[in-house]
Amino acid sequence: MDRLCWPALLIICTALIAACKPAPDAAPGALATEAAAVEQTGSPSAAEAVAFVAEAEEELSRLGQANERMTWVLRNFITEDTELLAAKTAEAFTAAQVEFAVKAASLNDVEGLDYDTRRKLNFLRSGTVMPAPGDVAKVAEQAEIGAKLSGLFGQGSYCREEGNCLALGELEEIMAHSRDPEQLLEAWEGWRTVSPPMKELYARQVELANQGATELGYDNLGTMWRSGYDMDPADFPAELDRLWGQVRPLYEALHCHVRARLGEYYGSGAVPQDGPIPAHLLGNMWAQNWENIYDLVGPEATAAAYDLSAILNEQGFDAIGMVKTAEAFFSSLGFEELPETFWERSLFVKPADRDVLCHPSAWDIDEKEDLRIKMCIDVNEEDFNTIHHELGHNYYQRAYNQESFLYRTGANSGFHEAVGDTLSLSITPRYLARIGLLDEVPDASGDLGLLMKQALVKIAFLPFGLMVDQWRWKVFAGEVSAQEYNDLWWQLRKQYQGVAAPGERPAGAFDPGAKYHVPTNVSYTRYFLAHILQFQFHRSLCEIAGNEGPVHRCSIYASPEAGGRLNAMLEKGRSRPWPEALEAMTGTSEMDATAMLDYFAPLQEWLDEQNAGRECGW
């Protein structure tokens, strides 16, 4: 789990950061007293900065563990009381974070600092998501805005008429399964009726957060968000575009084929064959993945060579058996078995007597050995893959547990998710045969369908994963006014995705607000990076494991050599710049999206054959 401001706690982060800044007319507090002392004694010294970082890490570790435990209780025993208790511990943790952020900003110009102190000061300074300006009235205003935005999304629904309303989950079901274009259009437009009231609130929130970021030493909030990537924040968008440029030909081939098949199904009048695809026809409320239209666009006469869900049930697997199998995967790579407390304290099956949050997650309660997962496991292929993914987080958490508090996380925001997905990529027929779930490795006849299903999730997501923060960074930099927010959103969606709104959008529309991560201020770049990095990790580990076949059929199961190289990266945590962590495993310090091209090479060849004679691009 992300340590610095979870999405559910963003409102608290917003409200408290300015509370830690002495307002111009406020009575002197602790920080004001410190400032007066510095004025009397001169600028702070390097020794004072070192002492401050040590104190901050000790306090954040103590409060963070308390917060982690209380959040665990809340997620597993959802009551009004646990919500209140969790809010209190979160408030104490976040108050410390934001106070330390302000103090770290005041030490930014101290000279003669060692590497670790400078690095940790930067992490402390940029650890809040939506900083508020140092004005009591603006603190209250920003907290109120955050609550309203969260509430507008969380309580949003589309009402055809009074008493006939559909929540987001119901609308998503329509988007996933309906093939009626009018019904799809109604669901798509209906959900976007929740976001227009957000636009002016969001614009004001950006204005306030930019002021807060400026007070922490950044020129705007986008620069602050990009400052955690071990490179010049101004250069980071270009690095993302470089990665996108590497994989764009594969995406364009997939787009061309999907557009053609949708045109055959819905007619070229509904899906013009020389332009972007209408967003409501791609099987997902945000057109961020296209897996739900596989039946319309997948290869004909090809199917998976096995039904893993059926096999697991036939062999009598239960939740514990599935987790034990995943643990054995990591043991085969040379990792130690999970501690006994993992089995005693994790949640594997949905309790019958209480409400729990079933969304799968991995936890490191004490940041040492109290590792857990929380997941309501069903015996099926999806959960089998997810368990391997979540344990990837746990083994990453344990690998860096000897580092100090601020280094106990992924090398950058994309690494943790990428590690989990990397291990899931090794769940191949070869792996399943080696552990006795298949009698033999199937031939390659079913590979094309499996690759297409993966591409509709992994490849289709990439441009959306990239453009969400590209939009935000332009907004944060003041490049567009609130009245231009929606136009910019669809310009970028067309530019990157080749996707368009189904029709002209109303003047007051605020379609970005219909995506959870925008009104709740959750960075999206991590997901783009994770999709790129997982294939780079997988290709390198397969090479280390001595794989000689296609990379999409490779599993690193039972390769201690691959496990050793993986651990060399994991154990660094965030102690070194991410290029060094990347090089420790892959041998290169540069992110490389060509691994995706290698993985999907058979699909690329098939797509090129299908697209012969078609007009591709938009």
Q: Token pair for residue 50?
A: 């070192």
Known catalytic residues are 390, 517
359/180 Cα distance (integer angstroms): 30
Least confident of 92-106, 362-376, 562-576: 92-106
Say yes or no to pLDDT of 565 above 90. Answer: yes
Helix or strand (DSSP H, E) at 165? strand 164-167
CA-based torsion, 243, 248, 251, 253: positive or negative: negative
Q: Work out the average pLDDT over 350-379.
A: 91
DSSP string, 206-218: HHHHHHHHHHTT-
- If pLDDT is split at 50, 70 and 90, which confidence band does 557 have? very high
Residue 123 has pLDDT above 80, yes or no: yes
Q: What sign for the dihedral angle of Cα 558, 561, 565, 570?
A: positive
At 445 the pLDDT is 82
pLDDT digits (tens, 9 = 90+) for 88-104: 888 788 778 878 988 99
Using the predicted structure, report yes or no on whether residue 303 has a pLDDT greater than 70.
no
Query: Who has greater pLDDT, 187 or 7?
Result: 187
Which stretches of 451-527 are assigned E, i.e. beta strand?
Answer: 499-500
Q: What is the pLDDT of residues 226-267, one digit of tens each?
A: 998 999 999 999 999 999 999 999 999 999 999 999 999 999
What's the CA gap between 247 and 574, in Å, rounded? 27
- Residues 212 and 205 sit within 8 Å (Cβ to Cβ): no
**pLDDT reported for residue 549:** 93
pLDDT of residue 23: 38
Q: Is the pLDDT of residue 34 over 60?
A: no
In this predicted structure, the answer to whether residue 78 has a pLDDT above a threshold of 90 is: no
CA 249 to CA 607: how far, in whole Å?
A: 11
CA pair distance 327, 346, nearest whole angstrom: 14
Question: Phi-psi region for residue 192, left (φ > 0), alpha (ψ -120 to 50) or beta?
Answer: alpha
- Distance CA(455)–CA(599), nearest Å, equals 10
pLDDT at residue 128 in the model:
80
3-state SS, residue 285? coil
Query: What integer pLDDT is reported at residue 129 of this predicted model?
Result: 85
Residue 540's pLDDT is: 98
| Banded model confidence at residue 300, pLDDT cuts 50, 70, 90 | confident
Q: What is the pLDDT of residues 456-501, one digit of tens each?
A: 999 999 999 999 999 999 999 999 999 999 999 999 999 999 999 9
Burial 534-568 (b: 16+ CB within 10 A, else e): bbbbbbbbbbbbebeebbbbbbbbbbeebbebbbe
The pLDDT score that the predictor gives to residue 33 is 40
In the chain, where are the structural domains located?
7-141+204-224
Q: What is the pTM of this model?
A: 0.90
- 152-191, pLDDT tens digit by residue? 888 889 998 777 899 998 999 999 999 999 999 999 999 9
Q: Report the distance separating Cα 337 and Cα 331, nearest Å.
A: 6
* 578 phi/psi in degrees, rounded to 5: -55, -30
pLDDT at 162 (0 to 100):
76
Percent of the chain with pLDDT over 70: 92
Question: Has residue 12 got a pLDDT over 50?
Answer: no
Instruction: Find all residues with CB under 8 Å of 96, minimum gap 6, and list them.
Output: 56, 59, 60, 63
- Contact residues for 231 (Cβ-Cβ < 8 A; gap 6+): 239
107 contacts 51 by C-beta, under 8 angstroms: no
Give the distance from CA 282 to its chain's centroid: 21
Q: Which residues of 193-223 are buried (b: 16+ CB within 10 A; e: fewer)?
A: ebbbbbbebbbebbebbbbbbbbbbbebbbb
pLDDT reading at 38 higher than 60: no
CB-based burial, 146-163: b 16+ in 10 Å, e otherwise: bebbbebbeebebeeeee
